[in-house]
Amino acid sequence: MHWFGFGFNGFGQISQADVSGQTVKCNVNTPVLLSEMCRSCVIRSDCRVRGSWSSRADVHHTDCGSHVCVSGFVSGSSEVRGGIFPESLGCTDALISERYLTLNFTDRVECWEIQHPQNKLVWKREQDLSDNTGHLVTLPLVSGGYVTPKTPFFRPLCSDLCAVSLALGSEHAVLLTSDGTVYSWGSGSHGQLGHGALTSQEEPQVLEALWGVPIRAVSAGNWHSASISRNTEQPINEDEKKQADVFISIQAFPALVDVPNVLEISRISCGSRHTAAVSGTGDLYTWGWGHYGQLGHGTENSTDEPTLVDYFASHRMCVKDVVCGLWNTFVSAVPKEQPPSRQE
């Protein structure tokens, strides 16, 4: 499996140099292989990529253990960074923001300020190993609540919610429960909460417009949210729709997104103002704001319509996962299986 990236590359978080050794442009508008920031590692199938505006974190799980490699901007340094984050050895998951790297371990969760020349531990919480609901969860969910990239770093959640997934936007959150119910809270100024109004919510509120529609995945961007239903397997937007560089329309209720010629969606991810979805057949579709090339269509144009990223289809690659940073997109893909040759 290979990881690719496209979009904003101002700090080398996608690729630091091209094949000729020259610095890559700030905008990468077609998929390129991610630079391997850990020289001792190969970005392989059990790697998970996390992105922020200026940085990237690769969570590696190897036969020798697990660790995180960080690339991009580092406070206090005039150079881009690339290498193993020493304090990450043994972690199971990670989240990266502009200033902090959150590390999840079996028995604890830690938040480190990424800075040169010495990283600084700013927050730590022991994990309650007895607090096991039987559901597999990933960051930002932790025992008893969830973590955020700003103070207070931990916020409690009611255990009755039975949360299995949580997506954090810049100022709002979207939560998925074990029975497929969706809750949202935070800023609703652009309709991103999906409650039909532009008001904010302090506490998790059930998304009534999706009541009775079991959801299997959620994601959150700056001003929008998206989900995948279990029944239709099509993405649902609870967001603003970007129709041009100077015009934004508000959509405060969830609406079904029509992805042409696609019957099933397996993955969904939201960037700041763009969305990416993986079809059941391994094709990648993107739409929204494309100013930095984050749609991967070879241009920096924006589009309202889910559009196939031709690169992977033309290179006979099957997309397995997609993770959006704010202004960029990261994709894992494998070569498509060749059909058996016909015997003469």
Interval 294-324: pLDDT, tens: 999 999 999 999 999 999 999 999 999 999 9
How far apart are the C-alpha atoms of 246 and 281, rounded to whole Å?
34
| pLDDT attached to residue 91 | 95
| pLDDT attached to residue 344 | 44
Task: Take residue 33 and report the two structure tokens written for it.
Answer: 């292989």
- Which residues, in sequence order, are bridge partners of residue 248? 242
How far apart are the C-alpha atoms of 265 and 279, rounded to whole Å?
4
Res 243 pLDDT > 50 = no
Residue the block writes with tokens 């239903």: 229
Res 8 pLDDT > 90 = yes
Comparing 142 with 79, which gets the higher pLDDT? Answer: 142
Instruction: Compute CA distances 283 → 112, 199, 309, 311, 317, whole Å.
Output: 36, 36, 8, 10, 8
* Residue 63 CB partners (closer than 8 Å, separation 6+): none
| pLDDT attached to residue 240 | 52
Res 148 pLDDT > 80 = yes
Give percent of the chain above pLDDT 90: 70
Mean pLDDT in the chain?
87
| pLDDT attached to residue 237 | 76
- Which residues, in sequence order, are bridge partners of residue 284? 278
- Residue pair 236/230 in contact (Cβ under 8 Å)? The answer is no
Instruction: Please state the φ and ψ torsions of residue 106, each to the nearest 5 degrees.
Output: -60, -40
- Residue pair 19/35 in contact (Cβ under 8 Å)? The answer is no
- Residue pair 311/11 in contact (Cβ under 8 Å)? The answer is no
How far apart are the C-alpha atoms of 293 and 10, rounded to whole Å?
12
How far apart are the C-alpha atoms of 115 and 45, rounded to whole Å?
29
User: With the C-alpha atoms ordered 30, 321, 110, 216, is the resulting torsion angle positive or negative?
Assistant: positive
Res 40 pLDDT > 90 = no
Res. 199 pLDDT band, cuts 50 70 90: very high
Res 130 pLDDT > 90 = no
Instruction: Compute CA distances 310 → 178, 201, 247, 298, 305, whole Å.
Output: 35, 40, 27, 9, 15
- Residue pair 42/36 in contact (Cβ under 8 Å)? The answer is yes
How far apart are the C-alpha atoms of 93 and 211, rounded to whole Å?
31
- Residue pair 8/26 in contact (Cβ under 8 Å)? The answer is yes
Peptide bond into 235 cis (omega under 30): no
Interval 244-270: pLDDT, tens: 333 456 889 999 999 988 989 999 999
How far apart are the C-alpha atoms of 327 and 24, rounded to whole Å?
16
Res 116 pLDDT > 60 = yes
| pLDDT attached to residue 65 | 86
User: Which segment of 24-28, 50-54, 207-211, 246-250 scores lowest on mean pLDDT?
Assistant: 246-250
Task: Take residue 3 and report the two structure tokens written for it.
Answer: 């990881």
Give the residue-averaged pLDDT of 121-145.
81
Interval 155-182: pLDDT, tens: 999 999 999 999 999 999 999 999 999 9
- Residue pair 239/223 in contact (Cβ under 8 Å)? The answer is yes
Res 284 pLDDT > 80 = yes
Task: Take residue 70 and report the two structure tokens written for it.
Answer: 């960080």
In eight-state DSSP terms, residue 311 is: H
Task: Take residue 17 and report the two structure tokens written for it.
Answer: 């140099």
How far apart are the C-alpha atoms of 142 and 256, rounded to whole Å?
31
How far apart are the C-alpha atoms of 248 and 236, rounded to whole Å?
18
266, 209, 50, 96: which is closest to 276 by C-alpha? 266
Interval 67-109: pLDDT, tens: 999 988 876 555 556 689 999 999 999 999 999 999 999 999 9
Give the three-class secondary structure for 208.
helix
| pLDDT attached to residue 245 | 39
